């Protein structure tokens, strides 16, 4: 009995010791992990560069330093940038990330500043976080991938028999196929069912009447960037004998236009036809033929819209900016300041006041980069006595609140 009690007590002691030993191992591993994490240095590179800017005043000196900071990041991260040049949206991501160059500089020292021939120069020694730059690049690139396609509303007027007297109508099989395909590719379709029926009726009536301006305005009410307008039609093409059976041919086509809602500008237009004629032994199969065409055309339609959207996002285009409250004197100061901003094409000529009514200035800006960078630029614009806040931003339009001024 005594030996049994001893054995039982010994087993319990061993179990307790094993638990303590296991906990000590876990604590040791955790401490080692934390020590390694804390001890790991951020990847950096030190460079010495020279930046320059037009002019010889204090603002030019600041711009020369900012140019040096961008040049430091560019040089420190050169190998990484060279590897990204073939990636989609390279220029857009590059412009976005270089606008925040100072955020990747761990430390810097101005070695000297000087002026020569109406130019200001700044020599800068900087330690750049290449690791932080690469992480931010990846985050921007991921965001741009999601932004490859605009927010859409799709309206297709479908007529499954062009020879009868029944007019085409929306909400047919072609529209359904396109919507499902777009959703499957993570394209944001604006839900027309969440708003009142009057707006939906206006949208469909404009589509039926092929009124591009009204269609764009109606789609904008759904917060869409682009309205995809389709016309789908099927016509009986006659009967043929195939293997002793009578088959009916249907001729079908789908015309597509993508219209930017804030300007009613047509981004792309194309007509799609099937690669092979549609034949069936069933009569009245126009709807089936249209469905088959829609399934074949959907990837091409999305690719065309995406390409048109990306192209207008990165090339020079006219952006519409509304400043309020804004006097004529303030608008002149804005034109002068914006004319010196990198990215505004043509200097002061690239900034045009189109209308000034009730202290609201509508301005057109010829801009070389994406709209997000323009919005960031406007909020950081330096005009004495004024500050700016972006209140609204659509695909090609920015609304800005002006604080200060006369």
Q: What is residue 156's predicted lDDT score, i.e. its pLDDT? A: 93
Inside any domain, residue 5: no
254 in the same domain as 192: yes
182 in the same domain as 134: no
Q: What is residue 1's predicted lDDT score, i.e. its pLDDT? A: 47
388 in the same domain as 248: no
Q: What is residue 69's predicted lDDT score, i.e. its pLDDT? A: 92
Among residues 102, 131, 146, the one where a domain terminates is 146
Range of the domain at 124: 44-146
92 in the same domain as 183: no
Among residues 93, 119, 146, the one where a domain terminates is 146
397 in the same domain as 251: no
Inside any domain, residue 13: no
Q: Cα–Cα distance between 368 and 319 in angstroms, integer?
A: 10
> pLDDT (tens digit, 9 = 90+) per residue, 10-22?
545 555 455 545 5
Q: What is residue 37's predicted lDDT score, i.e. its pLDDT? A: 45
Q: What is residue 245's predicted lDDT score, i.e. its pLDDT? A: 75
345 in the same domain as 289: no
Number of domains in the chain: 3
Q: What is residue 272's predicted lDDT score, i.e. its pLDDT? A: 94
Among residues 103, 124, 146, the one where a domain terminates is 146
Inside any domain, residue 262: yes
Residues lower than pLDDT 70 in the chain = 1-40, 86-89, 92, 141-148, 191-196, 242-243, 283, 311-317, 395, 405-406
- Check which CATH number belongs to the domain holding 160 and give it: 3.40.50.10070
Provide CB contacts within 8 A for 106, sequence distance 6+: 42, 44, 126, 127, 128, 129
């Amino acid at each position: 009995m005594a030996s049994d009690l001893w054995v039982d007590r010994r087993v319990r002691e061993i179990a307790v010791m094993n638990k303590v030993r296991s906990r000590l191992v876990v604590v040791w591993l955790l401490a080692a992990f934390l020590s390694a994490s804390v001890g790991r240095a951020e990847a950096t590179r030190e460079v010495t560069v020279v930046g320059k800017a037009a002019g010889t005043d204090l603002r030019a000196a600041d711009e020369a330093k900012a140019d040096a900071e961008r040049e430091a990041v560019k040089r420190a991260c050169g190998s990484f940038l060279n590897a990204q040049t073939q990636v989609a949206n390279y220029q857009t991501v590059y412009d976005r990330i270089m606008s925040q160059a100072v955020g990747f500089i761990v430390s810097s020292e101005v070695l000297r500043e000087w002026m020569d021939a109406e130019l200001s120069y700044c020599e800068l020694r900087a330690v750049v976080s290449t690791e932080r730059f690469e992480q931010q690049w990846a985050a921007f690139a991921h965001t741009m991938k999601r932004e490859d396609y605009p927010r859409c509303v799709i309206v297709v007027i479908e007529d499954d028999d062009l020879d009868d007297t029944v007019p085409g109508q929306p909400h047919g099989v072609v529209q359904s196929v396109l919507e499902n395909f777009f959703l499957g590719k993570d394209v944001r379709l604006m839900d027309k069912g969440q708003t009142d029926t009057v707006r939906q009726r206006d949208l469909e009536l404009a589509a039926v009447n092929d009124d591009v301006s009204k269609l764009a305005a109606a789609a904008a009410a759904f917060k869409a960037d682009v309205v995809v307008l389709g016309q789908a039609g099927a016509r009986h093409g006659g009967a043929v004998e195939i293997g002793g059976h009578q088959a009916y041919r249907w001729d079908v086509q789908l015309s597509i236009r993508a219209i930017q809602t804030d300007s009613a500008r047509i981004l792309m237009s194309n007509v799609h036809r099937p690669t092979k004629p549609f034949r069936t032994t069933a009569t009245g199969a126009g709807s089936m033929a249209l469905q088959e065409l829609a399934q074949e055309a959907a990837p091409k339609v999305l690719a065309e819209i995406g390409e048109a959207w990306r192209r207008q996002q990165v090339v020079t285009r006219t952006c519409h900016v509304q400043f309020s409250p804004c006097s004529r004197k303030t608008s002149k100061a804005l034109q002068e300041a914006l004319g010196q901003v990198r990215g505004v094409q043509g200097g002061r000529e690239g900034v045009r006041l189109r209308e000034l009514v009730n202290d609201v200035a509508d301005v057109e800006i010829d801009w070389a980069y994406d709209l997000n960078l323009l919005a960031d630029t406007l909020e950081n614009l330096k005009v004495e006595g004024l500050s700016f806040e972006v209140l609204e931003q659509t695909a090609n339009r920015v609304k800005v609140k002006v604080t200060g001024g006369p």
